[in-house]
Chains A and B, each alone.
Chain A
């Protein structure tokens, strides 16, 4: 007898889909802005109608870095929690919708001020660049909305745990909750700078702003933000991909331990983004660089677990030789192929991260376009290709449709297009960065200075790559719209893998939240208390706001 598929509750599916609509709308608009940026940087193209380069840069960064990711992740996690621990209660669902609408209204507000040219403060919105207060208020709404959604998830998880005392929670639910805890703790920093510094300053209630404090609070949030993007991709890798290929999770406990290590070590590390910042003592930079290198451990654990999952499956299918298992993987299945290519790109991406965080090497690449190339590998390839791969089963699962063979083929092509485009764009960004080409700059030729002219071939390659990537965005939008509205009706599985050893019960200690939250707070206090006191007590007079566009 065919077992009925375990489905996400219909009402929860609607909630998750609403998040997807905003996420993919942001992808369309933000992707277009990205294309325009690479064309301008080639030095061969000027924006029409007096549109500022910095306006489209801010649009691109905020829509893709904050809106696409946050909406996709929260929608995906609600679906994952509902699938593995049952339908949300009506109370939790109501809060989840309140969170969704707060985030959506906040996004609309911020987008309005960016698009009308009143908030060209780039993705990092560093003071003393000053945006219209509406931009900051919109962002604050997005953050507070995400907290409401997070608490809806926590309430649901707590109810499940109460009803299943002594049991470890399902892996996907555990991972979703860990990621939301990470998000809540790290967004406290950005909320603090936005609410207590930037909003009063942009409203004229205060004249000056402590620039170093605002940047430090931003990076207290900005680095764990990277892990907030990455962990849902890891959820797919650890808990979904083994099922897609027909194998098992190599180790459930290893996956949980990796997530706890990410929670502990991804927050007290923001100074590695500020290594060339005057005003922070070298000792505290050193402490945070050491903590940064601790994050390498769970990343390498993940790499090992993925290789082991693939090899175990290949060997179970009779693979021979050292790498014969690679041939047994389902290369024609876009649900596997897209995330796998994302994993491959994480090898240079992670390596680049280790280089960025090393103090001496940071001096070679700091504020060059190498850094832009780096995060286009991490977020815009590893994470995004995994999200695309997840969409190929998640969206039809939620809409009650099935992906056709033609769409699967298109998804494979989309992945190849993305990989080629990103190799051109990110590769040339890395190389130009090593030659000294700056990031966050509309200029390309710098008055035909000989050094800047050396960068031009790379910047043309960036434009070629950016154009190929935009074709990739059109393809993914075609696929997603097809899966949402036009694909044939039917049932699609939400794949959730089993652990290789069913007797292996994840240690409940990994869900001892009092212990882990205590350690998170302790590490943050160790890494930040003394330098923050120093930054506040020994601050120079603050800066007035600048609107340079």
Chain B
């Protein structure tokens, strides 16, 4: 592998003055996570029930 070909990867980025407000995104991914856990656990209990 040629080292020089990967050199430009270290591009300095100016610091963002302000992070975007993403409270809704945080809430959405939590809701998504809860849905996944709820569905998984439901089928897992069905599995246990049928043992």
Residue pair B6, A364 in contact (C-beta under 8 Å): no
Q: Does A365 contact B (CB under 8 A)?
A: yes
Main SS of chain A's interface residues? helix
User: Of B13, B21, B24, which contacts A307 at CB under 8 A?
Assistant: B24
Distance between Cα atoms of A363 and B51 in the complex (Å)? 10
Q: Which residues 443-476 in A have Cβ within 8 Å of B in the complex?
A: none
Residue pair A358, B40 in contact (C-beta under 8 Å): yes
Distance between Cα atoms of A358 and B14 in the complex (Å)? 44
Known: A312-B20, A505-B11. A361 touches B1 (CB 8 A): no
Q: Which residues 353-407 in A have Cβ within 8 Å of B in the complex?
A: 354-355, 358, 360-361, 363-365
Residue pair B21, A304 in contact (C-beta under 8 Å): no
Question: Which residues of chain A have C-beta atoms less than 8 A from B47's C-beta?
Answer: 360-361, 363-364
Main SS of chain B's interface residues? helix
User: Of B6, B23, B29, B32, which contacts A509 at CB under 8 A?
Assistant: B6
Q: Does A508 contact B (CB under 8 A)?
A: yes
Q: Which residues 1-51 in B have Cβ within 8 Å of A in the complex?
A: 1, 5-6, 8-9, 11, 13-14, 16, 20-25, 27-29, 32, 35-36, 39-40, 43-44, 46-47, 50
Residue pair B28, A307 in contact (C-beta under 8 Å): yes
Question: Which residues of chain A have C-beta atoms less than 8 A from B46's C-beta?
Answer: 364, 434
Q: Does A533 contact B (CB under 8 A)?
A: no
Q: Which residues 488-520 in A have Cβ within 8 Å of B in the complex?
A: 501, 503-505, 507-509, 512, 514-515
Known: A307-B25, A323-B24. A364 touches B43 (CB 8 A): yes
Distance between Cα atoms of A408 and B27 in the complex (Å)? 32
Residue pair A303, B32 in contact (C-beta under 8 Å): yes
Q: Nearest-CB distance from A342 to chain B (Å)?
A: 15
Known: A323-B24, A365-B43. A300 touches B8 (CB 8 A): no
Q: A312-331 vs B: 1/0 string, CB under 8 Å?
A: 10110000001111100000
Q: Nearest-CB distance from A327 to chain B (Å)?
A: 11
Q: Does A166 contact B (CB under 8 A)?
A: yes
Question: Which residues of chain B have C-beta atoms less than 8 A from A505's C-beta?
Answer: 8, 11, 13
Known: A322-B24, A323-B24, A364-B47. A515 touches B29 (CB 8 A): no
Q: Nearest-CB distance from B1 to chain A (Å)?
A: 6
Residue pair B27, A354 in contact (C-beta under 8 Å): no
Distance between Cα atoms of A312 and B23 in the complex (Å)? 10
Residue pair B50, A364 in contact (C-beta under 8 Å): yes
Question: Which residues of chain B have C-beta atoms less than 8 A from A365's C-beta?
Answer: 43
Residue pair A503, B13 in contact (C-beta under 8 Å): yes
Residue pair B22, A311 in contact (C-beta under 8 Å): yes
Q: Nearest-CB distance from B51 to chain A (Å)?
A: 9
Among A308, A324, A348, A365, chain B packs the most CB atoms within 10 A around the CB of: A308
Residues of B at the A interface (CB closer than 8 Å) are 1, 5-6, 8-9, 11, 13-14, 16, 20-25, 27-29, 32, 35-36, 39-40, 43-44, 46-47, 50
Known: A304-B25, A361-B44, A361-B47. 10 other contacts (CB 8 A): A303-B29, A307-B25, A307-B29, A308-B20, A311-B24, A312-B20, A312-B22, A360-B44, A501-B16, A505-B13
Rank and list the top 5 A-B pairs by shortest CB-CB distance, nearest first.
A307-B25, A307-B28, A507-B9, A505-B11, A311-B24
- 29 sampled A-B residue pairs with Cβ under 8 A: A303-B29, A304-B25, A307-B28, A308-B20, A311-B21, A311-B24, A311-B25, A314-B24, A322-B23, A322-B24, A322-B27, A347-B32, A348-B39, A350-B36, A351-B36, A352-B39, A354-B36, A354-B40, A355-B43, A358-B44, A360-B47, A361-B44, A363-B47, A364-B47, A503-B13, A503-B14, A505-B8, A507-B9, A508-B6
